């Protein structure tokens, strides 16, 4: 049980020890009204730092205390971690086991439900979840196979296409409509794009794959096409609570409606001023229109801020008042007065990095502020580069919550591809990824081998190189070309004849190089070893086998930093120990967020726990620190130059608002005067962010740091 300490979160009294919760004493009147509210839909508008988590936690506790079975409560949150935190706190209040609750992200809950009923919508229950990169790869494959006749130079790349598909799914719009509204310049390709989308959808079904959006789309489809299933869950969940409601999208809204349609005990909690995920289809109007869709809904507001000093709150209010679309709120600061936020003007990004590190060291040494109570926030990951260099130079421990996720690194995905193969035999991407790791097998051979493999029923049918004697004990001769034995029965290439001139023997069995032969044997050997019913539900052991039998050698031969990578895989294995099912393990890994991944990684590593946090503002949502630095506050970066419409600018402003309101005590807003022009050595002068310019000068204190000046 994590040591949750409420006094850290707010200055209010901690829980009673008696086991019965004293709600009146532990909640303010606004919070209490929410916790004690009875049945029916309700909307809770919760300002930053207003004890939203606390309120939801107590409401759940209250429901359980008054007789609701935890199994009948569904808690939908933005991250899995948020759900776990809330339910752990409920367990702290009451003698209940948290595993009886249903809680997690929409994707997680969708996955849990689909694992049980996937067959009803044409999938197998052991489907594999594609992460973003997998989807991209799959689309790339399609782009290659359909060979657009005249490859137009501006034809969108796979990540653009994936974006369109995802946006369409999440907003409930047709592909064509999405293109028209979002990227009208691609309208001329819409027929091809729709064709690709159809192939993509068909491939996923055939190979038993679901991407992130499918977890929601198919969830909805399941409920629409199978009324009995829908009724089962709608009756089961007597209470549904949705956190961060301002960031739900149209599709999620529809799912919620179906889930809560029977009992109508829907509690949604959010803050319209913190809606920052419209790029993912989040529909800010979900929260604005809630009272219209549920006319009987009661509206509550949490307006007391327990987090920030009045000075910080004043600056935040000063910022957000420039937005027009919002619920009126009257935030009240309850913390004692503190320091004014500082606007720090610096020469350039390097000066900014130097200032931030120096200041952090001072605060750490002089004021004994732990490093993990300080955070540096930015709009985009690349803005943290100079800072990372500086921190590394000074050996200041830090943790990055942006950029590539732990589980998305190549070496982890390599090893996981073997697990995906034995979990889902039809997983083409996984097969190809594994195949291409081996010497002598490139794209062409991998493609050929896959064509052979996919005709087979299952793994036990894999031809283990019938003719050739095992080469294992002749490894000294590995460079000599072995006598080409017949590999897996070659399927005659379908349809199109190959244009190659020397293709006379194309109809005979294909000949692979000796290296490819040996590689194939090695792969089959490994797969047969891990495809063992006794190990099937022990992913940790499987990972170790893959590592010991082959992958360690591969890493040592191909990467200078192989030690780090082996360490990562050992951590992966440790993480896997808690799972007793391969599918559960694989889903969990794909659905984990950045921060959660980092946490598990750190948890298995006996390293420093007191580390500075570097994070995008998006990832910082819901969190708080004593000291916050917001860096790179210049026009074009923040707000980002691609966001120019009024509503996009309002969202950027909300993002700035989120950054500011993470702060408890000390806030630094950093503005570097100069930045680097792309791919050039000279610097350009940058305008201060409009979000700085529009602040009242009285809401901050300005500091100018020039070169060589010690602060």
Partner DNA sequence: TTCTGCACCGTTTTT
Partner DNA sequence: CGGTGCAGAA
Query: Can you tell me the distance from the alpha carbon of 93 to that of 67, in angstroms, rounded to the nearest whole number?
Result: 15
CB-nearer residue toward DNA: 579 or 638 = 638
Query: Can you tell me the distance from the alpha carbon of 449 to that of 465, in angstroms, rounded to the nearest whole number?
Result: 13
Among 166, 270, 341, 672, binds DNA (CB under 7 A): 166
Is 518 one of the binding residues for DNA (CB under 7 A)? Answer: no
Binding mask 436-465 toward DNA (x if CB under 7 A, else -) reads: ---xxxxxxxx-------------------
Q: Are 442 and 436 in contact (CB under 8 A)?
A: yes
Q: Return contacts of 556-560, CB within 8 angstroms, 24+ apart.
A: 559/411
β-bridge mates for residue 676, sequence order? 683
Residue 300 φ then ψ, to 5°: -125, 155
State in angstroms the smallest separation of the CB of 293 from DNA.
23
State in angstroms the smallest separation of the CB of 212 from DNA.
4
Q: Are 250 and 217 in contact (CB under 8 A)?
A: no
Is 678 one of the binding residues for DNA (CB under 7 A)? Answer: yes
CA distances from 274 to 323, 326, 484, 557, 598 (A): 12, 10, 64, 48, 24
Is 616 one of the binding residues for DNA (CB under 7 A)? Answer: yes
State in angstroms the smallest separation of the CB of 606 from DNA.
26
Closest to 95 (Cα-Cα) out of 128, 59, 138, 64: 64
Among 42, 591, 660, 670, binds DNA (CB under 7 A): 591
Site for DNA in 73-112 (CB under 7 A): 78-79, 105-108
State in angstroms the smallest separation of the CB of 657 from DNA.
14
Query: Can you tell me the distance from the alpha carbon of 360 to that of 656, in angstroms, rounded to the nearest whole number?
Result: 21
Using only C-alpha atoms, the chain has a radius of gyration, in whole angstroms, of 28
Is 643 one of the binding residues for DNA (CB under 7 A)? Answer: yes
Is 618 one of the binding residues for DNA (CB under 7 A)? Answer: yes
Q: Judged by CB under 7 A, which stretch of 95-103, 179-187, 298-306, 593-601 contacts DNA?
A: 593-601
Is 385 one of the binding residues for DNA (CB under 7 A)? Answer: yes
Total residues interacting with DNA, rule: CB under 7 A: 48
Is 556 one of the binding residues for DNA (CB under 7 A)? Answer: no
Q: Are 359 and 711 in contact (CB under 8 A)?
A: yes
CB-nearer residue toward DNA: 359 or 414 = 414
Is 402 one of the binding residues for DNA (CB under 7 A)? Answer: yes
Is 679 one of the binding residues for DNA (CB under 7 A)? Answer: yes
Q: Sign of the C-alpha dihedral, residues 204, 210, 216, 222?
A: positive
Closest to 48 (Cα-Cα) out of 617, 646, 701: 617
CB-nearer residue toward DNA: 311 or 583 = 583
Query: Can you tell me the distance from the alpha carbon of 666 to that of 682, in angstroms, rounded to the nearest whole number?
Result: 34
Q: Judged by CB under 7 A, which stretch of 46-54, 191-199, 545-553, 616-624 contacts DNA?
A: 616-624
CB-nearer residue toward DNA: 60 or 400 = 400
Distance of CA 305 to the CA centre of its chain: 28
State in angstroms the smallest separation of the CB of 416 from DNA.
16
CB-nearer residue toward DNA: 159 or 372 = 159
CB-nearer residue toward DNA: 423 or 594 = 594
Among 8, 16, 202, 279, binds DNA (CB under 7 A): 279
State in angstroms the smallest separation of the CB of 558 from DNA.
9
C-alpha triplet 580, 581, 585: angle, nearest 5°: 100
State in angstroms the smallest separation of the CB of 420 from DNA.
18
Residue 613 φ then ψ, to 5°: -100, 130
CA distances from 501 to 266, 442, 505, 506 (A): 68, 21, 11, 11
Strands 612-616 and 374-378, by their bridges, are parallel
CB-nearer residue toward DNA: 40 or 439 = 439
Binding mask 180-219 toward DNA (x if CB under 7 A, else -) reads: --------------------------------xx------
Site for DNA in 107-136 (CB under 7 A): 107-108, 131-132
State in angstroms the smallest separation of the CB of 97 from DNA.
24
CB-nearer residue toward DNA: 124 or 644 = 644
State in angstroms the smallest separation of the CB of 38 from DNA.
31
CB count within 10 Å of CB 101 equals 23
Among 14, 190, 544, 593, binds DNA (CB under 7 A): 593
Site for DNA in 314-373 (CB under 7 A): none
Q: Are 139 and 196 in contact (CB under 8 A)?
A: yes
State in angstroms the smallest separation of the CB of 640 from DNA.
5
State in angstroms the smallest separation of the CB of 596 from DNA.
7
Is 381 one of the binding residues for DNA (CB under 7 A)? Answer: yes
Q: Are 240 and 74 in contact (CB under 8 A)?
A: yes
Residue 166 φ then ψ, to 5°: -65, -40
Q: Return contacts of 529-535, CB within 8 angstroms, 24+ apart.
A: 530/418, 530/419, 530/422, 531/422, 531/459, 531/460
Reduced to 3 states (helix: H, G, I; strand: E, B; else coil), residue 97 is coil
State in angstroms the smallest separation of the CB of 143 from DNA.
8
Closest to 378 (Cα-Cα) out of 627, 648, 630: 630
Which residues are near DNA by CB under 7 A? Answer: 78-79, 105-108, 131-132, 140, 157, 166, 212-213, 277, 279-280, 379-382, 385, 402-405, 439-446, 513, 515-516, 591, 593-595, 616, 618-619, 640, 642-643, 678-679
């Amino acid at each position: 049980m994590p040591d949750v300490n409420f006094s850290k979160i707010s200055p209010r009294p901690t829980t009673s020890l008696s086991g019965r919760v004293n709600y009146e004493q532990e909640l303010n009147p606004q919070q209490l009204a929410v916790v004690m509210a009875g049945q029916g839909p309700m909307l809770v508008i919760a300002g930053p730092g207003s004890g939203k988590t606390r309120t939801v936690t107590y409401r759940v506790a209250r429901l359980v205390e008054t007789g609701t079975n935890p199994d009948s409560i569904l808690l939908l949150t933005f991250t899995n971690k948020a759900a776990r935190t809330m339910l752990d706190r409920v367990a702290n209040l009451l003698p209940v086991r948290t595993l009886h609750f249903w809680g997690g992200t929409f994707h997680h809950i969708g996955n849990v439900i689909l694992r049980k009923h996937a067959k009803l919508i044409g999938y197998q229950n052991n489907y594999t979840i594609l992460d973003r990169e997998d989807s991209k790869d799959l689309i790339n494959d399609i782009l290659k196979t359909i060979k657009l006749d005249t490859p137009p130079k501006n034809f969108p790349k796979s990540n653009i296409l994936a974006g369109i598909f995802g946006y369409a799914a999440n907003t409930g719009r047709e592909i064509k409509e999405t293109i028209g509204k979002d990227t009208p310049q691609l309208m001329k390709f819409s027929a091809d794009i729709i064709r690709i989308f159809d192939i993509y959808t068909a491939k996923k079904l055939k190979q038993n794959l679901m991407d992130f959006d499918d977890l929601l789309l198919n969830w909805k489809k399941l409920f629409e096409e199978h009324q009995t299933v829908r009724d089962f869950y709608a009756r089961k969940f007597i209470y549904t609570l949705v956190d961060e409601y301002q960031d739900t999208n149209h599709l999620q809204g529809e799912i919620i409606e179906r889930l809560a349609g029977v009992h109508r005990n829907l509690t949604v909690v959010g803050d319209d001023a913190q809606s920052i995920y419209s790029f993912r289809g989040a529909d800010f109007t979900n929260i604005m229109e809630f009272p219209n869709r549920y006319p009987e809904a009661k509206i509550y507001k949490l307006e007391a801020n327990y987090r920030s000093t009045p000075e910080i709150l004043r600056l935040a209010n000063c910022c957000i008042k420039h937005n027009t679309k919002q619920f009126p709120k009257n935030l009240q600061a309850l913390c004692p007065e503190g320091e004014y936020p500082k606007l720090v003007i610096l020469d350039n990004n390097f000066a900014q990095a130097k200032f931030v590190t120096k200041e952090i060291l001072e605060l750490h040494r002089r004021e004994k502020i732990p490093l993990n109570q300080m955070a540096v926030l930015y709009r985009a990951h690349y803005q943290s580069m100079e800072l990372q260099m500086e921190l590394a130079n000074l050996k200041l421990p830090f943790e990055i919550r942006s950029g590539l996720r732990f589980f998305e690194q190549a070496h982890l995905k390599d090893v996981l591809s073997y697990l995906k193969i034995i979990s889902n035999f039809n997983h083409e991407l996984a097969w190809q990824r594994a195949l291409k790791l081996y010497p002598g097998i490139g794209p062409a051979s991998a493609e050929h081998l896959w064509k052979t493999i996919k005709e087979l029923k299952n793994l036990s049918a894999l031809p283990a190189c019938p003719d050739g004697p095992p080469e294992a004990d002749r490894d000294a001769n590995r460079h000599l070309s072995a006598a080409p034995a017949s590999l897996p029965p070659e399927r005659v290439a379908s349809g199109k004849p190959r244009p190659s001139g020397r293709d006379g023997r194309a109809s005979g069995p294909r000949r692979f190089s000796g290296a490819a032969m040996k590689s194939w044997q090695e792969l089959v050997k490994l797969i047969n070893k891990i495809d063992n019913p006794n190990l099937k539900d022990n992913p940790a052991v499987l990972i170790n086998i893959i590592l010991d039998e082959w992958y360690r050698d591969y890493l040592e031969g191909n990467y200078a930093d192989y030690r780090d990578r082996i360490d990562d895989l050992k951590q992966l294995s440790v993480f896997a120990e808690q799972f007793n099912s391969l599918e559960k393990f694989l889903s969990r890994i794909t659905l984990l967020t950045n921060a959660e991944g980092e946490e598990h990684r750190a948890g298995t590593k006996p390293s420093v726990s007191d580390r500075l946090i570097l994070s995008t503002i998006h990832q910082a949502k819901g969190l708080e620190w004593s000291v916050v630095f917001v860096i790179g506050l210049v026009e074009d970066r923040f707000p980002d130059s691609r966001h120019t419409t009024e509503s996009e600018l309002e969202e950027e402003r909300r993002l700035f608002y989120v950054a500011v309101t993470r702060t408890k005590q000390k806030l630094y807003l950093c503005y570097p005067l100069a930045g680097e022009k792309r791919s050039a050595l000279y610097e350009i002068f940058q305008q201060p962010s409009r979000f700085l310019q529009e602040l009242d000068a009285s809401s901050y204190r300005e500091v100018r740091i020039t070169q060589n000046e010690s602060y």
